[in-house]
Structures are given as structure tokens and as C-alpha cells.
Amino acid sequence: MRSSVFVCLSVSMLLSPVRALGQHREPPTTSQTSPVGQWMTLDDATGKATSVVSIWEENDKLYGRIEKLIDTDPKDPDPRCDRCEVELKSKPLIGLRILWDLRKDGDGWSGGRILDPDNGKVYWCTIAMEHEGRKLRVRGFIGFSLLGRTQYWLRQE
């Protein structure tokens, strides 16, 4: 009796994954696999939303620009990139391209650049989708990926 119960349980456990494999799963949607869309950026120190960035694809590369600033200083309603290098110096932050030339690389995108408008510096960049496409891991770095910082942006519905 004990051996037949054990055999039944063993066979049941072995067949369960087979049944699960045979079940139809919905393929991931574009919003789960592509960072194209609107993203809320968060302040590293406070975690508060700072801007909305729009990411688009063009010629198999990703680009991004600031679409909206959140809680801007009323004394400076049209902030500019005062610390940026020559070609971007004093450009309005709204509409400013901050991501460019990212190419698909496995499950993420790399090889591109990102501008930090707070300090005006440009860094190498990698991005990857997380949490079923609801979160974007953005890593800016100098030279090696170990020397940098990571931010998480949230998808806007």
C-alpha cells in the first residue's frame, strides 16, 4: 500500500511540470519587452519623481528626451542645462535629448550615452527592463560599468 501511494505521488509530481509546459502562455507584450514609451525618473536621494522621459526607437537605436519636469522651481519656470558642454549649453531641459545610440544587446540595450543634466556630464549607458516592463534599470558609467550609478525609472501608463 505504501509503495503504491509513493508511486502515485511520484508520477503525479513528474507529470505536473509536463502539464504546465503544455499550457498556453501569452507572449510578452511590447510594453514588457521594449523601453519605448514614457518613463518617470526618480531622484536618487529622495526617491521623488523629477521628470518624465520619452524613449523612442529610430534606425534600431534608442533615444530619449525630457518631456516634462515635475515640481520645478517657480522662480525658474524654464530651467536650462547650464552645466552642459558647448553644444547643449543653456538649452531648455524640456525637450533636451538625454539618451542616444543605445543598441539591443541580449535582454538589454547598451553602447549608448546618457546626459546627466544636473552636472552636464555625458556617460556610457546601459538599460534593461525589469518587473515585467514596469521598471527600467538605467546605468550610467565612465569606462567600466563598475564605476557608475544606477537609477530606476517607472513606466507611465
> How high is the pLDDT of residue 40?
98
Averaged pLDDT, 149-153: 95
**9-43 per-position pLDDT tens digit:** 333 333 334 333 444 445 555 567 899 999 999 99
Mean pLDDT of 86-112: 96
pTM across the whole model: 0.79
Helices and strands of the chain, counted as H and E runs: 2, 8
Distance CA 124, CA 139 (A): 8
**Topology of domain 30-155, CATH:** Lipocalin (2.40.128)
Specify the higher pLDDT residue, 79 or 29. 79
Q: Give Cα 20 to chain centroid, integer Å.
A: 31
Domain boundaries, the chain: 30-155
Cell triple for 99: 539618451
pLDDT higher than threshold 80 for residue 65: yes
Contact residues for 18 (Cβ-Cβ < 8 A; gap 6+): none
Amino acid identity of residue 97, one-letter, is R
User: To the nearest whole number, what is the mean pLDDT of the chain?
Assistant: 84
